[in-house]
Structure 1
Amino acid sequence: MTNANSRNRLKRLNSRQRKKLRVGEFQELGFTLQATLNCDEAASDAFLNAWLEAVDAHGVSFGGNYTKGELDGIVFPVSDVKITAELRAALVAWLQGRKEIAQMEAGELLDVWHSRW
């Protein structure tokens, strides 16, 4: 797989092409998330609702699944909101502050369109 954001490739593309391909200044970053919950079903439902509200409050979205106490997915941008290291840190801190989380691992920022996750 070639680097979608290589300098040589970006030089050949005009702004419209970079936007269509989501590269250069139009690159969209996100991060993966895996967490284990240690609570009953009712508490996990309440946690999941709170998590999705926290994500929505930052103007981003979460896609993934929750099965048997395991939350696995990716946080990705919506519309013009960019995911930065600060936004990632805020969401990770929110999760770390929750008593329902037994274990959590958040990946580094990655290109959601051109990375394997």
Structure 2
Amino acid sequence: MTNANSRNRLKRLNSRQRKKLRVGEFQELGFTVVATLSCDEAASDAFLNDWLEAVDAQGVSFGGHYNQGELDGIVFPVGAATITAELRSALVAWLQGRKEITQLQAGELMDVWHSHW
């Protein structure tokens, strides 16, 4: 796969094309989350609701699934929102502070449109 944000490629694209392709200044960043929960079904439902509220409060969204104690997905921007290193750190810290989580892996910021995740 070629680098969607290579300097050579971006030079050939005008602003409208960069926006349509979500590259350059229109690149959208996100990060993956894989967490293992150790709690009963009622507590996991409450945790999932709290997690989605925490993500929504930041103006971003989470897409993924929860199956047999494992939460797996990606946090991505919505609308004009952007995901920064500070926002990533805040959400990861929120997850680390929860007693339901026994194991957590949070990926680095990546291009959500042009990365394999």
Q: Please, what TM-score do these two structures have when normalized by structure 1?
A: 0.99
SS at match of 2:88: helix
How far apart in 2 are the matches of 1:62 and 1:49?
12
How far apart in 1 are the matches of 2:114 and 2:70?
26
Opposite residue 31 of structure 1, the aligned amino acid is F
How far apart in 2 are the matches of 1:96 and 1:70?
15
Shift of 1:95: 0.3
Q: Deviations over 1:17-65 (max 9, x none)?
A: 0000000000000000000001000000000000000000000000000
How far apart in 2 are the matches of 1:20 and 1:78?
16
Q: In the alignment, does 2:84 pair up with 1:84?
A: yes
Opposite residue 84 of structure 1, the aligned amino acid is T
How far apart in 1 are the matches of 2:94 and 2:76?
17
Aligned to 1:99: 99
Shift of 1:14: 0.5
Aligned to 1:36: 36
Shift of 1:76: 0.3
Give matches, 1:61-72, under 5 Å.
61-72=61-72
SS at match of 2:3: coil
Q: Please, what TM-score do these two structures have when normalized by structure 2?
A: 0.99
Q: Which runs of 5+ in 2 are unaligned?
A: none
Displaced runs of 4+ in structure 1, greater than 3 A?
none
Q: Deviations over 1:55-90 (max 9, x none)?
A: 000000000000000000000000001000000000
Shift of 1:97: 0.4
SS at match of 1:114: coil
Report % sequence identity: 85
How far apart in 1 are the matches of 2:77 and 2:11?
25
